[in-house]
């Protein structure tokens, strides 16, 4: 998270970049968490996005970037009043 969010206060995320960040976050989480065995067929399967978000209790990376950008904008607005 710190690597991706470095400098995020100064750049805006487009819809395309939003999708790419979500895909890369899910790809990393799939490598971290073990695959799941299907109860009906008994075969191993990849975890779905909802299951990944349940296992990883942190916020979505896009929400984190947006909130940091909003905090930065609030800080700049306060500095302008001085």
Q: Is the pLDDT of residue 82 over 70?
A: no
CA distance 71 to 69: 5
How does pLDDT run across 5-61, given as a tens digit for each residue? 666 666 777 888 888 888 888 888 888 887 788 788 888 888 888 888 788 777 777
Q: How far apart are the first and last CA of the chain?
A: 33
Give the residue, 23 or 3, on which the prediction is more confident.
23
Residue 62, pLDDT score: 76
Q: Does the pTM exceed 0.85?
A: no
Q: What are the C-alpha distances in Å from 33 to residues 12, 23, 44, 48?
A: 30, 15, 13, 11
**pLDDT above 80 for 70:** no
As for how many domains the chain has, the answer is: 1
Segments forming the whole domain that contains residue 59? 2-80
- Reading the block at residue 6, the tokens are 């470095």
CA-nearest of 61, 52, 70, 57 to 4 is: 61
């Amino acid at each position: 998270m710190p690597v991706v969010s470095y400098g995020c206060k100064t750049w805006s995320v487009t819809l395309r970049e939003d999708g790419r960040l979500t895909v890369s976050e899910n790809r990393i989480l799939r490598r971290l968490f073990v695959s799941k065995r299907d109860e009906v067929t008994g075969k191993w399967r990849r975890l779905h996005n909802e299951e990944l978000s349940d296992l990883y209790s942190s916020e979505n990376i896009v929400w984190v970037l947006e909130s940091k950008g909003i905090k930065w904008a609030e800080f700049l607005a306060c500095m302008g009043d001085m």
